[in-house]
Chains A and B, each alone.
Chain A
Amino acid sequence: MASKTRSSTKFAEIKESGGKSTLVLDGDWTVDNAGEIENAVAEIARGEGGYAVRAEDLGKLDTSGALLLKRLLPGKKLPAGLKPQQKAILEFLPDFAEYKPETEKQPPGVFFRTIGRQTFAALEFLQGLLTLIGRVFAVFFRNLKDPRRFRFPSIVRHAQETGIEALLIIGLLAVLISMVITFQGAVQLKKFGAGIFTIDLTVVALLREMGVLVTAIMVAGRSGSSFAAEIGVMTLREEVNALRTMGMDPVEVLVAPRVIALLITLPLLTFIADAVGIIGAGLMAQPLLGVSLEQYFERVQATATVTMLFVGLVKAPAFAFLIAIIGCYQGLNVSGSAESVGRTTTLAVVQSIFMVIMADALFSILFSQLDI
Chain B
Amino acid sequence: MPALIEAKNITNKFGRQVIHDHLSLEVAENEILGVIGGSGSGKSVLLRTMLGLHKPDSGKVLVNGKSLYALAENDRMSLQKKWGVLFQNGALFSGLSVIDNISLPLREHTDLSAEAVCNLAFLKLQMVGLPPDTADKFPSALSGGMVTRAAMARAMALDPGLLFLDEPTGALDPVSAAALDELMLSLKETLGLSILIITHDLATVLGVCDRIAIIVDKKVETGTVDELAESSNAKVREFFDSPRVKDALSKRRKRN
| Contact in complex: A68, B116 (CB < 8 Å) | yes
| Contact in complex: A31, B158 (CB < 8 Å) | yes
Q: Does B132 contact A (CB under 8 A)?
A: yes
Q: Contacts A38-B116, A96-B126, A99-B121 given; indicate if A337 touches B140 (C-beta within 8 A).
A: yes
Q: For this complex, into which size category does the number of interface residues on chain A fall?
A: 20 to 34
Instruction: Note all chain A residues with C-beta closer than 8 A to B110.
Output: 31-32, 34-35, 64
Q: Contacts A31-B159, A97-B132 given; indicate if A63 touches B140 (C-beta within 8 A).
A: no
CB proximity to B under 8 Å, residues A67-102? 67-68, 85, 88-89, 92-94, 96-99, 101-102
Total number of A-B contacts with CB less than 8 angstroms?
Answer: 78
Q: Contacts A99-B121, A99-B135, A101-B136 given; indicate if A94 touches B111 (C-beta within 8 A).
A: no
Q: Does B58 contact A (CB under 8 A)?
A: no
Contact of A96 among B99, B123, B156, B190 (CB under 8 A): B123
Q: Does B113 contact A (CB under 8 A)?
A: yes
Q: Contacts A30-B159, A94-B127 given; indicate if A64 touches B190 (C-beta within 8 A).
A: no
Closest-by-CB residue of B relative to A98 is B119
Interface of B is mostly: helix
Instruction: Note all chain A residues with C-beta closer than 8 A to B248.
Output: none
| Contact in complex: A96, B186 (CB < 8 Å) | no
B interface residues, how many (CB within 8 angstroms) = 34
Q: Does A62 contact B (CB under 8 A)?
A: yes
Closest-by-CB residue of B relative to A338 is B94
Cα distance, A36 to B118, chains bound together (Å): 17
Cα distance, A34 to B116, chains bound together (Å): 9
Instruction: Note all chain B residues with C-beta closer than 8 A to A93.
Output: 123, 127
| Contact in complex: B119, A99 (CB < 8 Å) | yes
Instruction: Note all chain B residues with C-beta closer than 8 A to A64.
Output: 110, 112, 120, 159
Q: Contacts A62-B159, A337-B139 given; indicate if A99 touches B122 (C-beta within 8 A).
A: yes
Instruction: Note all chain A residues with C-beta closer than 8 A to B139.
Output: 337
Closest-by-CB residue of A relative to B192 is A85
Q: Does A108 contact B (CB under 8 A)?
A: no
Instruction: Note all chain B residues with C-beta closer than 8 A to A335.
Output: 140
- Which 6 residue pairs spanning A and B have beta carbons closest together? A35-B111, A337-B94, A99-B122, A336-B140, A62-B159, A88-B190
Q: Can you name 14 A-B residue pairings with CB atoms under 8 Å? A: A31-B158, A31-B159, A35-B110, A35-B111, A62-B191, A63-B191, A64-B112, A67-B119, A85-B192, A96-B122, A99-B121, A99-B122, A99-B135, A336-B138
Beyond A30-B159, A63-B191, list 18 extra A-B contacts (CB 8 Å). A31-B109, A31-B110, A32-B110, A35-B110, A63-B124, A64-B110, A68-B116, A88-B189, A89-B190, A89-B191, A93-B123, A101-B136, A335-B140, A336-B138, A336-B141, A337-B95, A337-B139, A339-B95
